Amino acid sequence: MGRDLNVIGSDNVTAIGLGTWGIGGYETPDYSRDKESVEALRYGLELGINLIDTAEFYGAGHSEELVGKAIRDFEREGLFIISKVWPTNFGYEKAKRAARASAKRLGTYIDLYLLHWPGDSWERIEETLHALEELVDDGLIRYIGVSNFDLELLRKSHEVMRKYEIVANEVKYSLKDRWPETSGLLEYMKREKIALIAYTPLEKGSLARNECLAEIGRKYGKSAAQVALNYLIWEDNVIAIPKAGSKAHIEENAGAMGWRLSKEDREKVKLCVG
């Protein structure tokens, strides 16, 4: 189930992760489903998924708190935790404070820390990237990445790093929205050994209901959702992070790993969504 991506050191990161957007709230905290959310995340970890993606913006930090509770009884070295800094916290000192606050809510260091969105100032992006390099030296974070960066901005960001490399870019990517392929972003990231972390990989469940994908999946004993996810993680540098909404969905998502669409079927899959 795991893979050594090379792009994230020697970490054996699972190709399917646990996404937490909406867990613990959206733009404000929601405490109504805390128990179920923590149980769902723990279930995913028990199944062998070892990557959790969160952010300070999710539930105004409450998502990070729930992740911290979920991982408490697991061996930390076997997990890979991603969090993100929101553009309002870009800047040398503000980014450092934001990272410390995220680590406090998580109760641990952060494996991969991302710039959540580009924001509106290149100077602030550059300043923040250099602040994150200091955080690596401090041991608060292990790796640096970005999110929602197009090819031009990723390349520009990659070039200004002083001490460490950008190892990941988290972007929207699914069978229905294959822009990383058509824009050249995926090819560039493969060449530079940068991980592509795909969010909304099931298009809010619509791909799970695609009968064409289900028909292809029957050949492998897999569901439409598993086919849609396997299409993405077929590439060695791609990780998909569907939302960890329920135990049933997490179990189904985990089943997207451990097998591989044939090249022929992977091409057929593209035709299922036009």
Cα–Cα dist 224/259, whole Å: 14
**Best CA proximity match to 124, nearest among 147, 154, 162, 95:** 95
Q: What are the pLDDT digits (tens) for 182-200?
A: 999 999 999 999 999 999 9
Residue 95 placed within a domain: yes
Q: Please report the pLDDT score of residue 12 as a whole number.
A: 87
According to DSSP, the residues that pair with 52 across neighbouring strands are 18, 81
Asked if residues 59 and 174 have their Cβ atoms less than 8 Å apart, the reply is no
Tell whether the model's pLDDT for residue 222 goes beyond 60. yes
Residue 64 placed within a domain: yes
Specify the CATH number for the domain of residue 83.
3.20.20.100
Q: Please report the pLDDT score of residue 1 as a whole number.
A: 46
Residue 225 placed within a domain: no
Tell whether the model's pLDDT for residue 3 goes beyond 60. no
Asked if residues 86 and 98 have their Cβ atoms less than 8 Å apart, the reply is yes
Most distant CA atoms of the chain, gap in Å: 54
Residue 193 placed within a domain: yes
Residue 213 placed within a domain: no
139 backbone dihedrals φ, ψ, rounded to 5°: 85, 5
Catalytic residues, which ones?
58
Q: What are the pLDDT digits (tens) for 231-262?
A: 999 999 999 999 988 999 999 999 999 999 99
Domain with 94 in it: 5-203+231-259
Cα–Cα dist 5/53, whole Å: 17
Mean pLDDT of the chain: 95
Q: Over range 26-31, report the average pLDDT.
A: 95
131: pLDDT confidence band, cut at 50, 70 and 90? very high
